[in-house]
Amino acid sequence: MRLEEYWGVGPKTRERLVDELGTEAAVRAIENGDVRSLADAGLARGRATRILRRATGGAGMDILATSDARSAYKELLDLAVEHAVTQRAADRIRVLTPLATREAMDSRLDDVIAARDAWAALEEEEREAVLAAYERYDEREGSEYAAVEAAIALLEAGVDSGPFAAIADLERDRLADAADALAALDGNRVREGADDELDRLRDSLGAIEDMDANALELIEELRSEGVRDVEGFRQSFEDHLLTETGVTIDRVRDAMATDATDATDFVGATLRALRSDLTEAVDEREDTVASDLEDTLDDARDAVNQAIEAVDDIALHLSLARFALEYDCTRPVFVEGDDAAVSVVNARNLTLAARDDESVQPVTYGLGDHGVASVPEGVGSVPGQQRVAVLTGANSGGKTTLLETLCQVVLLATMGLPVPADRAEVTPVDSLVFHRRHASFNAGVLESTLKSIVPPLSTGGRTLMLVDEFEAITEPGSAADLLHGLVTLSVDREALGVFVTHLADDLEPLPPEARVDGIFAEGLNPDLELLVDYQPRFDTVGRSTPEFIVSRLVANADDRSERAGFETLAEAVGNDVVQRTLADARWTTGE
């Protein structure tokens, strides 16, 4: 395949990759999702990631129909990357995409769930040994040697279930021999310490080179010892060579110049001969040692390749398993056949959970042909089978958070990853339309929004619509008409969808296939913070609760004139309600 055929690879990028990696290596890096190689070749890491996402999962990326859907996808990857055990695993997580087939989703889920269970079952000491092995792997930059050493360390840690089973059958002795060979080789060179004889010859050559560089000083030193005749000088020079260089006497005598005209010529010729002789000896010995090491690697090549692949795959699945455990994620159920559903039982929003927000309230929700059989106390009936819902209710009531939670669950399931819920049902969709609230009455914003959220409904595939406060981008009257049209279009096209709005009354009558759900605020706590039950109540219109907000403003006003202004607003929204709210808050505090 030509490099230009990959998404995002133009002439300049192709030229850079070919210059730095070569065509075959560049293609291999793209096909293997190797962010590091592309980054080392000079591509910005973000650009490399985008190229690889399209190369390895282009069809999956097409599911993300809006910029907000793509942002939610990237936010999930960022959370998962925080639990990566190696840099290579982090890079592989960054290029994960939604998967195009149910089989691919199930396959990845099998791997991640097995890894999650295996990691959870390990003792703390075993976990520390595994993480230490991968820390050393990263320190050695993920080389072949690093991978083999990591495989040996995992074998020594005694972990062999789940993802670790991939290394259980590796021959430890063969891997140890391969590790020694890889440690000894640096490309075509043999590293110091790999062979005693080679080290001795290199030391001798180094000593001779140093001596040759200071030949005149050596001659003066020998003469200062009282040597005057030729034979005495020869003998003294020979003794010095044997003492200072470790060269054998036979090699020294063979190199001694026989036709030198003076001491300088004699020393120089002898040292040049020794340098030549030792250089040849070093090269021969290095070739012999390198050949033996390469033979060892050839014999162990299958084991080495298996170790490299296993260590890499284990790191990926272990990283995803740690992410799943951190957020108590479970395996989603995929809805079969012509049925369509998105439902969650006790789902948690990952963005809030990542902040260690103790106020995260699990929610239960359902669209379509779901299997939600019970709901939390006080909610009333279980959600109906409608595929489209209009979500109404209190300001700061968690409506947007619910949309984001559903988006996260569907994205994770489609990527073949566990989801943050006690139970979840998901119909894999062809288009995910997630639209966050964007407050602007700019005509261009309205047009661009409609152009991003309507076409997916018209393509004929399964679509999930998650639209937040559409009315924020145009005046309320027009917004209600357009939103009613979107709900109707979603019903007609058998899409799944939740539309958050404060205009529920203006949408009547809705199609019978759509329902209205509500989230309710219940008052103020002793700290005058809004108390909200984030669990929606089904087939119930939620109401905005400005009286609670005004009550808090009245209570917190320090300036007399400011307080008077807020009291005027209290009269507008119902002074008796405001006073009752404040009384309830004071009663709770015991005042």
**How does residue 590 score in pLDDT terms, banded at 50, 70 and 90?**
very low
Reply yes or no on whether the pLDDT at 570 is more than 80: no
Contacts of 258 (CB under 8 A, 6+ apart): none
- pLDDT, mean of residues 564-571: 74
Q: How far apart are CA 427 and CA 495, in angstroms?
A: 11
Tell me what pLDDT residue 338 has: 81
Please check whether residue 347 is in contact with residue 330, taking contact to mean a CB–CB distance below 8 angstroms: no
Percent of the chain surpassing pLDDT 90? 46
Tens digits of per-residue pLDDT, 234-263? 888 888 888 888 888 888 888 888 887 788
Tell me what pLDDT residue 439 has: 57
Beta bridge partners of 497: 388, 465
Tens digits of per-residue pLDDT, 452-509? 889 998 887 899 999 998 877 777 678 888 889 999 999 999 999 999 988 888 888 8
**How does residue 120 score in pLDDT terms, banded at 50, 70 and 90?**
very high
Query: Structure tokens of 274?
Result: 């020794």
Decide which of 446 and 544 is more confident.
Answer: 446
Reply yes or no on whether the pLDDT at 529 is more than 70: no
Decide which of 215 and 179 is more confident.
Answer: 179
Tens digits of per-residue pLDDT, 545-555? 666 666 667 77
Reply yes or no on whether the pLDDT at 525 is more than 60: no
- pLDDT, mean of residues 290-310: 92
Strand ranges in 405-513 using DSSP code E only, listed in sequence order = 423-426, 431-435, 463-468, 496-500
Q: In what order do the strands lie in the sheet with 388-393?
A: 431-435, 463-468, 496-500, 388-393, 514-524, 530-537
Q: How far apart are CA 426 and CA 542, in angstroms?
A: 26
Percent of the chain surpassing pLDDT 70? 90
Please check whether residue 563 is in contact with residue 554, taking contact to mean a CB–CB distance below 8 angstroms: yes
Tell me what pLDDT residue 306 has: 92
